[in-house]
Amino acid sequence: MNKVLEEHSKELREALALANMKDFHEQVAKVAQQLKEAFAAEKTVYVAGNGGSAAEAQHLSDEFLGRYRSDRRAYPVVALTADMAAITCIANDYGYEQVFARQVEALGKPGDVFIGLSTSGNSENLLKAFEVARGKGMTLIAITGRQGKMREQADYVIESPADKASIVQEFHLHAIHLICEIFEP
């Protein structure tokens, strides 16, 4: 096998071996429960991230809007990363650090949920969105790594037990799929 593939696979196996999966699963379960409560109260979930985390945000939204495995009701989850016209307009007029905060300001309501996905936990545009969401009375969820300011500001955290960005994102995808599993009939 290719040396690069061997090394990455080894790092992933080591992260899994060292991870306290019980804590990780408890974090996922708490977030899923919060989402269930929000949906029961007819609230909306907004989700955002940058780069690979933007793709994961859209993946989470798509699994709730469409279906994961089984036919079930659709849930109101909006990926703030999906409207390129809004993102470029806000970035041009206010700066990239405002692209999610302005959308949360316009769309968020008390009791809604904002989920920020960030490998580092320090993405300035997500931190600004957290500030706006907190001011609107929204619940804040951070899906992140083991460090970063988002963890300190969030009401709920799903923390990847790894440091390497690609492995952090693999845990994020695992968390997304576990949340979806909880919503299966």
CB count within 10 Å of CB 75 equals: 16
Query: What is the radius of gyration, based on Cα positions, of the chain?
Result: 16
User: Per-residue pLDDT for 5 more than 80?
Assistant: no
pLDDT digits (tens, 9 = 90+) for 127-149: 999 999 999 999 999 999 988 99
Mean predicted lDDT score pLDDT of the chain? 92
91 contact partners, CB below 8 Å, separation of at least 6 = 98, 99
Query: What is the rounded distance in angstroms from the CA atom of residue 74 to the CA atom of residue 77?
Result: 9
Nearest C-alpha neighbor of 141 from the set 113, 121, 169: 113
**Max CA-CA distance within the chain?**
52
**In this predicted model, what pLDDT tens digit does every residue of 87-101 receive, in sequence order?**
999 999 999 999 999
- Mean pLDDT to the nearest integer, 99-104: 98
Measured between alpha carbons, how far is 23 from 15 in angstroms, rounded to an integer?
Answer: 14
Going by C-beta distance under 8 Å and a sequence separation of 6 or more, which residues neighbour residue 65? Answer: 74, 75, 77
Cα 87 to chain centroid, rounded? 18
Q: Are 125 and 97 in contact (CB under 8 A)?
A: yes
What are the sequence ranges of the domains in the chain? 20-182
> Interhelix angle for 165-182 vs 3-18, to 10°?
60
- pTM for this structure? 0.92
Question: pLDDT category, 3, cuts 50, 70, 90?
Answer: confident
Q: Check whether 16 has a pLDDT greater than 80.
A: no
Which of the listed CATH numbers 3.30.420.10, 3.30.465.10, 3.40.50.10490, 3.30.9.30 matches domain 20-182? Answer: 3.40.50.10490
